[in-house]
A and B are shown apart, each in its own frame.
Chain A
Amino acid sequence: MKNSTVFAFGLAAALATTGPAFADKLDDIIASGTLRCAVVLDFPPMGARDENNNAIGFDVDYCNDLAAALGVTAEIVETPFPERIPALMSGRVDVGVASTSDTLERAKTVGMSIPYFAFEMAVTANEQSGIKSFEDMKGKTVGATAGTFEAIALEKQVKEWGEGEFRPYQTQADVFLALSQGQIDATVSTSTVAQSNVKSGKFSGISVVGKAPFDIDYVALFANREEYGLLNYLNLFVNQQVRTGRYAELYEKWVGGELPDLTISGVYR
Protein backbone atom coordinates (compact mmCIF):
# COMPACT_ATOMS: atom_id res chain seq x y z
CA MET A 1 0.00 0.00 0.00
CA LYS A 2 2.68 2.41 1.06
CA ASN A 3 4.90 1.31 -1.75
CA SER A 4 2.25 1.88 -4.34
CA THR A 5 1.62 5.43 -3.03
CA VAL A 6 5.30 6.23 -3.33
CA PHE A 7 5.27 4.70 -6.78
CA ALA A 8 2.23 6.77 -7.76
CA PHE A 9 3.86 9.94 -6.47
CA GLY A 10 7.06 9.07 -8.27
CA LEU A 11 5.20 8.43 -11.47
CA ALA A 12 3.25 11.67 -11.14
CA ALA A 13 6.47 13.61 -10.47
CA ALA A 14 8.22 11.97 -13.37
CA LEU A 15 5.36 12.77 -15.73
CA ALA A 16 5.19 16.34 -14.49
CA THR A 17 8.88 16.98 -15.01
CA THR A 18 9.43 15.08 -18.23
CA GLY A 19 6.06 15.77 -19.77
CA PRO A 20 6.88 18.97 -21.67
CA ALA A 21 10.09 17.51 -23.06
CA PHE A 22 8.02 15.05 -25.07
CA ALA A 23 6.45 17.84 -27.08
CA ASP A 24 8.38 17.46 -30.32
CA LYS A 25 8.47 19.61 -33.43
CA LEU A 26 5.28 18.08 -34.76
CA ASP A 27 3.47 19.04 -31.55
CA ASP A 28 4.98 22.52 -31.66
CA ILE A 29 3.75 23.10 -35.21
CA ILE A 30 0.23 21.95 -34.42
CA ALA A 31 0.17 23.95 -31.20
CA SER A 32 1.47 27.12 -32.85
CA GLY A 33 -1.07 26.87 -35.66
CA THR A 34 1.50 27.83 -38.28
CA LEU A 35 3.71 25.77 -40.53
CA ARG A 36 6.74 27.73 -41.72
CA CYS A 37 8.16 26.35 -44.97
CA ALA A 38 11.49 27.28 -46.53
CA VAL A 39 10.77 27.71 -50.24
CA VAL A 40 13.10 28.91 -52.99
CA LEU A 41 11.17 31.50 -54.99
CA ASP A 42 13.79 31.87 -57.70
CA PHE A 43 13.25 28.45 -59.18
CA PRO A 44 10.25 28.38 -61.51
CA PRO A 45 8.05 26.45 -61.83
CA MET A 46 8.77 25.06 -58.36
CA GLY A 47 8.85 28.42 -56.65
CA ALA A 48 8.37 31.90 -58.11
CA ARG A 49 6.45 35.13 -57.66
CA ASP A 50 3.47 36.25 -59.75
CA GLU A 51 2.85 39.81 -60.99
CA ASN A 52 1.40 40.73 -57.59
CA ASN A 53 4.49 39.45 -55.80
CA ASN A 54 2.63 36.47 -54.35
CA ALA A 55 4.53 33.24 -53.90
CA ILE A 56 3.43 30.62 -56.42
CA GLY A 57 4.66 27.28 -57.70
CA PHE A 58 4.72 23.57 -57.09
CA ASP A 59 6.59 23.87 -53.79
CA VAL A 60 4.25 26.61 -52.56
CA ASP A 61 1.19 24.45 -53.27
CA TYR A 62 2.92 21.49 -51.66
CA CYS A 63 3.55 23.49 -48.50
CA ASN A 64 -0.07 24.60 -48.43
CA ASP A 65 -1.22 21.00 -48.79
CA LEU A 66 1.03 19.96 -45.93
CA ALA A 67 -0.29 22.74 -43.73
CA ALA A 68 -3.88 21.76 -44.58
CA ALA A 69 -3.13 18.17 -43.62
CA LEU A 70 -1.74 19.34 -40.30
CA GLY A 71 -4.71 21.66 -39.79
CA VAL A 72 -2.58 24.79 -39.57
CA THR A 73 -1.89 27.79 -41.79
CA ALA A 74 1.14 27.84 -44.05
CA GLU A 75 3.74 30.57 -43.97
CA ILE A 76 6.09 30.68 -46.95
CA VAL A 77 9.57 31.84 -45.93
CA GLU A 78 11.63 32.73 -48.98
CA THR A 79 15.11 31.25 -48.75
CA PRO A 80 17.73 31.33 -51.51
CA PHE A 81 19.40 27.95 -52.11
CA PRO A 82 22.45 28.50 -49.89
CA GLU A 83 20.31 29.72 -46.98
CA ARG A 84 17.98 26.77 -46.61
CA ILE A 85 20.00 25.09 -43.91
CA PRO A 86 20.84 28.17 -41.81
CA ALA A 87 17.13 29.02 -41.87
CA LEU A 88 16.26 25.58 -40.51
CA MET A 89 19.06 25.52 -37.94
CA SER A 90 18.26 28.94 -36.55
CA GLY A 91 14.61 27.96 -36.15
CA ARG A 92 13.18 30.37 -38.72
CA VAL A 93 11.44 27.54 -40.57
CA ASP A 94 9.99 24.19 -39.52
CA VAL A 95 10.37 22.27 -42.74
CA GLY A 96 11.99 22.77 -46.12
CA VAL A 97 9.88 22.40 -49.27
CA ALA A 98 12.69 23.64 -51.42
CA SER A 99 13.55 21.11 -54.14
CA THR A 100 16.44 19.82 -52.04
CA SER A 101 18.43 16.91 -53.49
CA ASP A 102 18.71 14.12 -50.95
CA THR A 103 22.47 13.48 -51.08
CA LEU A 104 24.17 11.32 -48.46
CA GLU A 105 26.54 14.17 -47.67
CA ARG A 106 23.64 16.48 -46.79
CA ALA A 107 21.79 13.82 -44.83
CA LYS A 108 24.61 14.02 -42.30
CA THR A 109 23.28 17.47 -41.48
CA VAL A 110 19.52 17.42 -42.02
CA GLY A 111 16.81 14.78 -42.04
CA MET A 112 15.37 13.98 -45.48
CA SER A 113 11.92 12.59 -46.26
CA ILE A 114 11.29 10.14 -49.09
CA PRO A 115 11.51 11.87 -52.51
CA TYR A 116 8.56 14.11 -53.35
CA PHE A 117 9.70 15.16 -56.81
CA ALA A 118 12.30 14.13 -59.37
CA PHE A 119 14.18 16.21 -61.91
CA GLU A 120 15.90 15.32 -65.12
CA MET A 121 18.79 17.50 -66.14
CA ALA A 122 18.94 19.36 -69.44
CA VAL A 123 21.66 21.29 -71.22
CA THR A 124 20.75 24.80 -72.34
CA ALA A 125 23.24 26.53 -74.60
CA ASN A 126 23.81 29.94 -76.07
CA GLU A 127 23.02 29.54 -79.77
CA GLN A 128 26.31 31.14 -80.82
CA SER A 129 28.42 28.68 -78.83
CA GLY A 130 27.83 25.85 -81.27
CA ILE A 131 27.07 23.45 -78.44
CA LYS A 132 24.70 20.70 -79.60
CA SER A 133 25.03 18.13 -76.83
CA PHE A 134 26.34 17.52 -73.33
CA GLU A 135 29.73 16.33 -74.69
CA ASP A 136 30.17 19.58 -76.64
CA MET A 137 30.49 21.47 -73.35
CA LYS A 138 33.98 20.04 -72.87
CA GLY A 139 36.49 22.90 -72.84
CA LYS A 140 33.80 25.59 -72.74
CA THR A 141 32.78 28.01 -70.03
CA VAL A 142 29.75 26.62 -68.25
CA GLY A 143 27.74 27.70 -65.22
CA ALA A 144 24.95 26.67 -62.91
CA THR A 145 23.16 27.83 -59.77
CA ALA A 146 25.46 27.59 -56.77
CA GLY A 147 24.44 25.03 -54.22
CA THR A 148 22.30 22.87 -56.47
CA PHE A 149 22.68 19.20 -57.35
CA GLU A 150 23.44 20.02 -60.98
CA ALA A 151 26.08 22.61 -60.03
CA ILE A 152 27.93 20.09 -57.91
CA ALA A 153 27.72 17.45 -60.65
CA LEU A 154 28.73 19.87 -63.41
CA GLU A 155 31.72 21.22 -61.46
CA LYS A 156 32.90 17.66 -60.93
CA GLN A 157 32.48 16.94 -64.65
CA VAL A 158 34.50 20.03 -65.66
CA LYS A 159 37.30 18.94 -63.31
CA GLU A 160 37.16 15.47 -64.86
CA TRP A 161 37.41 16.89 -68.38
CA GLY A 162 40.39 18.92 -67.20
CA GLU A 163 39.60 21.86 -69.49
CA GLY A 164 37.04 24.62 -69.61
CA GLU A 165 35.73 26.67 -66.75
CA PHE A 166 32.89 26.34 -64.27
CA ARG A 167 31.11 29.35 -62.75
CA PRO A 168 28.55 29.12 -59.95
CA TYR A 169 26.04 31.98 -59.91
CA GLN A 170 23.93 32.83 -56.90
CA THR A 171 20.54 32.65 -58.57
CA GLN A 172 18.94 30.83 -61.48
CA ALA A 173 18.12 34.19 -63.04
CA ASP A 174 21.80 35.21 -63.02
CA VAL A 175 22.76 31.94 -64.73
CA PHE A 176 20.33 32.53 -67.59
CA LEU A 177 21.30 36.20 -67.80
CA ALA A 178 24.96 35.20 -68.12
CA LEU A 179 24.02 32.52 -70.67
CA SER A 180 21.95 34.93 -72.72
CA GLN A 181 24.78 37.51 -72.68
CA GLY A 182 27.28 34.85 -73.75
CA GLN A 183 29.34 35.12 -70.56
CA ILE A 184 28.92 31.37 -70.29
CA ASP A 185 28.37 29.02 -73.24
CA ALA A 186 26.02 26.54 -71.62
CA THR A 187 24.35 25.54 -68.41
CA VAL A 188 22.91 22.41 -66.91
CA SER A 189 19.66 22.87 -65.05
CA THR A 190 16.58 20.84 -64.33
CA SER A 191 14.65 20.36 -67.54
CA THR A 192 11.60 22.04 -66.00
CA VAL A 193 13.59 25.20 -65.25
CA ALA A 194 15.23 25.12 -68.67
CA GLN A 195 11.91 24.85 -70.51
CA SER A 196 10.31 27.48 -68.35
CA ASN A 197 13.12 30.00 -68.88
CA VAL A 198 13.45 29.43 -72.62
CA LYS A 199 9.68 29.76 -73.03
CA SER A 200 9.49 32.88 -70.87
CA GLY A 201 11.15 34.89 -73.66
CA LYS A 202 13.10 36.93 -71.10
CA PHE A 203 16.37 35.46 -72.30
CA SER A 204 17.14 35.62 -76.01
CA GLY A 205 19.48 33.46 -78.05
CA ILE A 206 19.34 30.35 -75.91
CA SER A 207 17.88 26.92 -76.48
CA VAL A 208 17.64 23.55 -74.80
CA VAL A 209 19.98 21.23 -76.71
CA GLY A 210 19.69 17.94 -74.88
CA LYS A 211 19.75 15.90 -71.74
CA ALA A 212 22.61 15.78 -69.28
CA PRO A 213 23.64 12.25 -68.32
CA PHE A 214 23.52 12.90 -64.60
CA ASP A 215 21.58 10.67 -62.22
CA ILE A 216 17.92 11.53 -61.78
CA ASP A 217 17.80 14.24 -59.13
CA TYR A 218 15.39 13.09 -56.44
CA VAL A 219 14.42 15.90 -54.12
CA ALA A 220 13.09 15.58 -50.61
CA LEU A 221 11.41 17.58 -47.89
CA PHE A 222 13.75 18.21 -45.00
CA ALA A 223 13.49 18.91 -41.29
CA ASN A 224 15.79 18.70 -38.31
CA ARG A 225 17.59 15.39 -38.31
CA GLU A 226 16.43 14.19 -34.89
CA GLU A 227 12.74 15.10 -35.40
CA TYR A 228 11.60 11.59 -36.20
CA GLY A 229 7.98 12.35 -35.43
CA LEU A 230 7.93 15.08 -38.04
CA LEU A 231 9.98 13.16 -40.59
CA ASN A 232 7.66 10.19 -40.20
CA TYR A 233 4.71 12.48 -40.87
CA LEU A 234 6.43 13.96 -43.93
CA ASN A 235 7.08 10.49 -45.37
CA LEU A 236 3.47 9.53 -45.00
CA PHE A 237 2.38 12.85 -46.44
CA VAL A 238 4.48 12.39 -49.57
CA ASN A 239 3.09 8.90 -49.94
CA GLN A 240 -0.48 10.20 -49.57
CA GLN A 241 0.07 12.96 -52.11
CA VAL A 242 0.95 10.33 -54.71
CA ARG A 243 -1.76 7.92 -53.61
CA THR A 244 -4.54 10.48 -53.77
CA GLY A 245 -3.47 11.75 -57.18
CA ARG A 246 -2.63 15.19 -55.84
CA TYR A 247 0.99 14.81 -56.95
CA ALA A 248 -0.13 14.14 -60.52
CA GLU A 249 -2.54 17.06 -60.33
CA LEU A 250 0.12 19.49 -59.14
CA TYR A 251 2.57 18.17 -61.73
CA GLU A 252 0.07 18.76 -64.50
CA LYS A 253 -0.66 22.25 -63.16
CA TRP A 254 2.92 23.47 -62.91
CA VAL A 255 5.02 21.33 -65.21
CA GLY A 256 2.98 19.12 -67.52
CA GLY A 257 4.02 16.09 -69.51
CA GLU A 258 5.14 12.71 -68.31
CA LEU A 259 4.90 12.28 -64.55
CA PRO A 260 8.28 11.36 -63.01
CA ASP A 261 8.30 8.12 -61.06
CA LEU A 262 9.36 8.63 -57.46
CA THR A 263 10.33 5.04 -56.79
CA ILE A 264 13.47 3.15 -57.66
CA SER A 265 13.01 -0.45 -58.65
CA GLY A 266 14.92 -3.14 -56.83
CA VAL A 267 15.43 -1.40 -53.50
CA TYR A 268 13.48 -0.14 -50.49
CA ARG A 269 13.92 3.33 -49.15
Chain B
Amino acid sequence: MFNYTFHWNQAFKALPQMLDGAVVTLQIALLSMAIGLACAIALTLFRLSGNRILGGFATAWVEVARNTPALFQIYMAHFGLGNFGIHLSPYVALLAGIAFNNAGYLAENFRGALKAIPDTQTRSARSLGMTSMQAFGYIVLPQMLRIAFLPATNQMIWAILMTSLGVTVGMNTDLAGVTQALNAVSFRTFEFFALAAVIYYVIAKIVTLAARLFAARMFRY
Protein backbone atom coordinates (compact mmCIF):
# COMPACT_ATOMS: atom_id res chain seq x y z
CA MET B 1 0.00 0.00 0.00
CA PHE B 2 2.99 2.28 0.35
CA ASN B 3 2.71 4.42 -2.73
CA TYR B 4 5.53 6.91 -2.80
CA THR B 5 8.47 7.80 -4.97
CA PHE B 6 11.45 9.11 -3.09
CA HIS B 7 13.05 12.37 -4.22
CA TRP B 8 16.30 12.20 -2.33
CA ASN B 9 18.01 15.03 -4.17
CA GLN B 10 15.45 17.47 -2.75
CA ALA B 11 16.24 16.27 0.75
CA PHE B 12 20.01 16.44 0.26
CA LYS B 13 19.68 20.01 -0.97
CA ALA B 14 18.33 20.88 2.47
CA LEU B 15 21.11 19.05 4.31
CA PRO B 16 23.09 22.20 5.25
CA GLN B 17 19.95 23.68 6.89
CA MET B 18 19.36 20.45 8.76
CA LEU B 19 22.96 20.31 9.97
CA ASP B 20 22.61 23.87 11.29
CA GLY B 21 19.57 22.58 13.15
CA ALA B 22 21.61 19.67 14.47
CA VAL B 23 24.11 22.13 15.98
CA VAL B 24 21.28 23.87 17.87
CA THR B 25 19.98 20.48 19.03
CA LEU B 26 23.39 19.49 20.37
CA GLN B 27 23.82 22.88 22.00
CA ILE B 28 20.51 22.61 23.87
CA ALA B 29 21.31 19.05 24.94
CA LEU B 30 24.75 20.00 26.28
CA LEU B 31 23.45 23.08 28.12
CA SER B 32 20.55 21.12 29.58
CA MET B 33 22.97 18.46 30.79
CA ALA B 34 25.25 21.04 32.42
CA ILE B 35 22.30 22.71 34.17
CA GLY B 36 20.77 19.33 34.98
CA LEU B 37 24.00 18.05 36.57
CA ALA B 38 24.35 21.14 38.74
CA CYS B 39 20.72 20.89 39.86
CA ALA B 40 21.02 17.15 40.46
CA ILE B 41 24.04 17.59 42.71
CA ALA B 42 22.14 20.26 44.62
CA LEU B 43 19.09 17.95 44.90
CA THR B 44 21.31 15.13 46.16
CA LEU B 45 22.79 17.42 48.81
CA PHE B 46 19.29 18.57 49.80
CA ARG B 47 18.26 14.97 50.27
CA LEU B 48 21.33 14.20 52.35
CA SER B 49 20.98 17.36 54.41
CA GLY B 50 18.31 15.93 56.68
CA ASN B 51 16.47 19.25 56.44
CA ARG B 52 12.75 18.51 55.99
CA ILE B 53 11.96 21.41 53.70
CA LEU B 54 15.00 20.98 51.43
CA GLY B 55 14.54 17.21 51.37
CA GLY B 56 10.86 17.56 50.55
CA PHE B 57 11.62 20.02 47.78
CA ALA B 58 14.15 17.61 46.25
CA THR B 59 11.75 14.67 46.50
CA ALA B 60 8.94 16.66 44.88
CA TRP B 61 11.22 17.74 42.01
CA VAL B 62 12.40 14.17 41.36
CA GLU B 63 8.86 12.78 41.58
CA VAL B 64 7.41 15.26 39.08
CA ALA B 65 10.39 15.09 36.72
CA ARG B 66 10.43 11.32 36.57
CA ASN B 67 6.72 10.56 36.62
CA THR B 68 5.32 13.02 34.10
CA PRO B 69 5.99 13.10 30.35
CA ALA B 70 8.79 15.35 29.15
CA LEU B 71 6.31 16.77 26.64
CA PHE B 72 4.14 17.97 29.53
CA GLN B 73 7.13 19.53 31.30
CA ILE B 74 8.19 21.46 28.21
CA TYR B 75 4.62 22.49 27.39
CA MET B 76 4.16 23.75 30.96
CA ALA B 77 7.40 25.73 30.82
CA HIS B 78 6.00 27.60 27.80
CA PHE B 79 2.21 27.75 28.09
CA GLY B 80 1.88 26.99 31.81
CA LEU B 81 4.17 29.81 32.93
CA GLY B 82 2.77 31.95 30.11
CA ASN B 83 -0.56 31.84 31.89
CA PHE B 84 1.08 33.69 34.80
CA GLY B 85 2.65 36.25 32.50
CA ILE B 86 6.10 34.64 32.59
CA HIS B 87 7.13 34.41 28.96
CA LEU B 88 9.93 32.02 28.13
CA SER B 89 11.00 31.90 24.49
CA PRO B 90 10.69 28.46 22.86
CA TYR B 91 14.46 27.99 23.20
CA VAL B 92 14.48 28.78 26.91
CA ALA B 93 11.29 26.80 27.59
CA LEU B 94 12.72 23.75 25.85
CA LEU B 95 16.03 24.11 27.68
CA ALA B 96 14.28 24.57 31.03
CA GLY B 97 11.98 21.61 30.45
CA ILE B 98 14.78 19.23 29.54
CA ALA B 99 17.10 20.49 32.28
CA PHE B 100 14.30 19.95 34.81
CA ASN B 101 13.79 16.42 33.51
CA ASN B 102 17.54 15.70 33.44
CA ALA B 103 17.98 16.90 37.02
CA GLY B 104 15.27 14.53 38.22
CA TYR B 105 16.72 11.48 36.54
CA LEU B 106 20.32 12.34 37.37
CA ALA B 107 19.43 12.84 41.03
CA GLU B 108 18.13 9.28 41.06
CA ASN B 109 21.31 8.08 39.34
CA PHE B 110 23.31 9.81 42.05
CA ARG B 111 21.20 8.26 44.79
CA GLY B 112 21.97 4.82 43.37
CA ALA B 113 25.66 5.67 43.07
CA LEU B 114 25.75 6.89 46.68
CA LYS B 115 24.35 3.57 47.86
CA ALA B 116 27.28 1.85 46.15
CA ILE B 117 29.75 3.82 48.29
CA PRO B 118 30.11 2.28 51.75
CA ASP B 119 29.32 4.55 54.72
CA THR B 120 32.64 3.53 56.23
CA GLN B 121 34.39 5.82 53.76
CA THR B 122 32.62 8.87 55.10
CA ARG B 123 33.29 7.78 58.66
CA SER B 124 37.00 7.21 57.93
CA ALA B 125 37.25 10.62 56.33
CA ARG B 126 35.51 12.23 59.30
CA SER B 127 37.81 10.40 61.73
CA LEU B 128 40.78 11.81 59.82
CA GLY B 129 39.50 15.26 60.75
CA MET B 130 37.63 16.28 57.59
CA THR B 131 34.45 18.29 58.00
CA SER B 132 31.30 16.63 56.62
CA MET B 133 31.44 18.94 53.59
CA GLN B 134 35.07 18.03 52.94
CA ALA B 135 34.31 14.33 53.30
CA PHE B 136 31.50 14.70 50.77
CA GLY B 137 33.46 16.90 48.39
CA TYR B 138 36.77 15.03 48.37
CA ILE B 139 35.78 11.43 49.07
CA VAL B 140 32.14 10.72 48.17
CA LEU B 141 31.39 13.13 45.29
CA PRO B 142 34.26 12.01 42.97
CA GLN B 143 33.33 8.37 43.42
CA MET B 144 29.65 9.14 42.99
CA LEU B 145 30.30 10.97 39.70
CA ARG B 146 32.49 8.12 38.51
CA ILE B 147 29.85 5.46 39.23
CA ALA B 148 27.07 7.59 37.80
CA PHE B 149 29.01 8.66 34.69
CA LEU B 150 27.96 5.96 32.24
CA PRO B 151 24.30 5.95 33.34
CA ALA B 152 24.41 9.73 32.94
CA THR B 153 25.47 9.39 29.30
CA ASN B 154 22.15 7.63 28.78
CA GLN B 155 20.47 10.76 30.03
CA MET B 156 22.55 12.81 27.60
CA ILE B 157 21.29 10.71 24.68
CA TRP B 158 17.77 11.06 26.04
CA ALA B 159 18.24 14.83 26.23
CA ILE B 160 19.34 14.97 22.58
CA LEU B 161 16.26 13.05 21.50
CA MET B 162 13.94 15.06 23.79
CA THR B 163 14.92 18.31 22.05
CA SER B 164 12.62 17.18 19.24
CA LEU B 165 9.67 17.96 21.55
CA GLY B 166 10.49 21.64 21.12
CA VAL B 167 8.22 21.80 18.07
CA THR B 168 5.24 21.75 20.43
CA VAL B 169 6.25 25.13 21.84
CA GLY B 170 7.07 26.74 18.51
CA MET B 171 10.77 25.89 18.31
CA ASN B 172 11.89 26.09 14.68
CA THR B 173 15.67 26.26 14.77
CA ASP B 174 16.55 22.82 16.11
CA LEU B 175 16.77 19.71 13.94
CA ALA B 176 13.14 18.64 14.49
CA GLY B 177 11.89 22.19 13.91
CA VAL B 178 13.87 22.62 10.70
CA THR B 179 12.66 19.22 9.48
CA GLN B 180 9.03 20.11 10.18
CA ALA B 181 9.36 23.41 8.33
CA LEU B 182 10.94 21.74 5.30
CA ASN B 183 8.21 19.12 5.34
CA ALA B 184 5.45 21.74 5.46
CA VAL B 185 6.72 23.47 2.35
CA SER B 186 7.31 20.45 0.13
CA PHE B 187 5.32 17.56 1.68
CA ARG B 188 8.40 15.31 1.15
CA THR B 189 7.76 13.85 4.61
CA PHE B 190 9.59 10.57 4.37
CA GLU B 191 12.84 11.89 2.90
CA PHE B 192 13.22 14.66 5.45
CA PHE B 193 12.24 12.53 8.41
CA ALA B 194 14.54 9.69 7.36
CA LEU B 195 17.40 12.13 6.98
CA ALA B 196 16.64 13.65 10.39
CA ALA B 197 16.57 10.19 11.95
CA VAL B 198 20.01 9.43 10.52
CA ILE B 199 21.39 12.72 11.85
CA TYR B 200 19.94 12.04 15.32
CA TYR B 201 21.44 8.56 15.21
CA VAL B 202 24.87 9.85 14.24
CA ILE B 203 24.87 12.52 16.94
CA ALA B 204 23.81 10.01 19.58
CA LYS B 205 26.47 7.54 18.44
CA ILE B 206 29.21 10.17 18.51
CA VAL B 207 28.20 11.25 22.00
CA THR B 208 28.22 7.64 23.23
CA LEU B 209 31.66 6.97 21.80
CA ALA B 210 33.04 10.23 23.17
CA ALA B 211 31.68 9.39 26.61
CA ARG B 212 33.29 5.92 26.50
CA LEU B 213 36.65 7.39 25.48
CA PHE B 214 36.38 10.01 28.20
CA ALA B 215 35.50 7.38 30.79
CA ALA B 216 38.36 5.14 29.70
CA ARG B 217 40.83 8.01 30.13
CA MET B 218 39.46 9.51 33.31
CA PHE B 219 38.52 6.46 35.29
CA ARG B 220 41.58 4.25 34.91
CA TYR B 221 42.46 2.30 37.99
Alpha-carbon distance between A236 and B164 when the two chains are bound, in angstroms? 42
Asked if B3 contacts A170 (CB within 8 A), the reply is: no
Given contacts A91-B3, A146-B180, contact A174 B187 (CB under 8 A): no
Cβ distance A246 to chain B, nearest Cβ, rounded Å: 29
Given contacts A85-B189, A91-B3, A167-B90, contact A143 B170 (CB under 8 A): yes
Q: Which residues of A contact B1 (CB under 8 A)?
A: 90-91
Chain-B contact segment, one of A38-46, A55-63, A104-112, A190-198: A104-112
B83 within 8 A of A: yes
Q: Which residues of B contact A147 (CB under 8 A)?
A: 180, 183-184
Give per-residue flags for A160-185: 1 if the beta carbon is below 8 A from chain B beta carbons, else 0. Answer: 00000111111000100110011110
Q: Which residues of A contact B190 (CB under 8 A)?
A: 86, 89
Asked if A152 contacts B184 (CB within 8 A), the reply is: yes
Asked if B188 contacts A109 (CB within 8 A), the reply is: yes
Classify the interface of chain A: helix, strand, loop or mixed. Answer: mixed
Question: Which residues of chain B in 172-192 are interfacial with respect to chain A, using CB atoms and an 8 Å cutoff?
Answer: 172, 177, 180-181, 183-190
A155 within 8 A of B: yes
Using C-beta atoms within 8 Å of the partner chain, give the interface range for chain A.
35 or more
Partner of B186 from the list A106, A168, A174 (CB cut-off 8 Å) is A106
Asked if A167 contacts B180 (CB within 8 A), the reply is: no
Q: Which residues of A contact B219 (CB under 8 A)?
A: none
Q: Which residues of A contact B2 (CB under 8 A)?
A: 89-91
B168 within 8 A of A: yes
Q: Which among B79, B171, B177 has the greatest number of chain A C-beta atoms within 10 A?
A: B79
Cβ distance A204 to chain B, nearest Cβ, rounded Å: 12
Partner of A183 from the list B87, B183, B186, B187 (CB cut-off 8 Å) is B87
Alpha-carbon distance between A168 and B1 when the two chains are bound, in angstroms? 32
Q: Which among A151, A167, A184 has the greatest number of chain B C-beta atoms within 10 A?
A: A167
Question: Which residues of chain B in 1-40 are interfacial with respect to chain A, using CB atoms and an 8 Å cutoff?
Answer: 1-4, 7
Question: Which residues of chain B in 66-97 are interfacial with respect to chain A, using CB atoms and an 8 Å cutoff?
Answer: 78-79, 82-83, 85, 87, 89-90
Asked if B185 contacts A152 (CB within 8 A), the reply is: yes
Give per-residue flags for A128-152: 1 if the beta carbon is below 8 A from chain B beta carbons, else 0. Answer: 0000000000000001001110011
Given contacts A169-B170, A181-B82, contact A105 B3 (CB under 8 A): no
Cβ distance A32 to chain B, nearest Cβ, rounded Å: 13
Alpha-carbon distance between A76 and B34 when the two chains are bound, in angstroms? 47
Partner of A178 from the list B3, B79, B85, B172 (CB cut-off 8 Å) is B79
Asked if A108 contacts B189 (CB within 8 A), the reply is: no
Alpha-carbon distance between A151 and B180 when the two chains are bound, in angstroms? 12
Given contacts A147-B180, A182-B87, A183-B82, contact A105 B7 (CB under 8 A): no
Partner of A182 from the list B85, B90, B185, B189 (CB cut-off 8 Å) is B85
Q: Which residues of A contact B7 (CB under 8 A)?
A: 108
Q: Which residues of B contact A165 (CB under 8 A)?
A: 89
Given contacts A89-B190, A90-B1, A108-B7, contact A177 B184 (CB under 8 A): no
Asked if B183 contacts A89 (CB within 8 A), the reply is: no
Question: Which residues of chain B in 140-196 are interfacial with respect to chain A, using CB atoms and an 8 Å cutoff?
Answer: 167-172, 177, 180-181, 183-190
Alpha-carbon distance between A146 and B179 when the two chains are bound, in angstroms? 11
Q: Which residues of B contact A106 (CB under 8 A)?
A: 186-187
Cβ distance A57 to chain B, nearest Cβ, rounded Å: 22
Cβ distance A251 to chain B, nearest Cβ, rounded Å: 27
Given contacts A82-B184, A105-B187, contact A224 B170 (CB under 8 A): no
Which B residues form the contact surface with A (CB < 8 A)? 1-4, 7, 78-79, 82-83, 85, 87, 89-90, 167-172, 177, 180-181, 183-190
Q: Which 5 A-B pairs have the closest CB atoms?
A: A167-B170, A91-B1, A147-B184, A181-B82, A109-B187
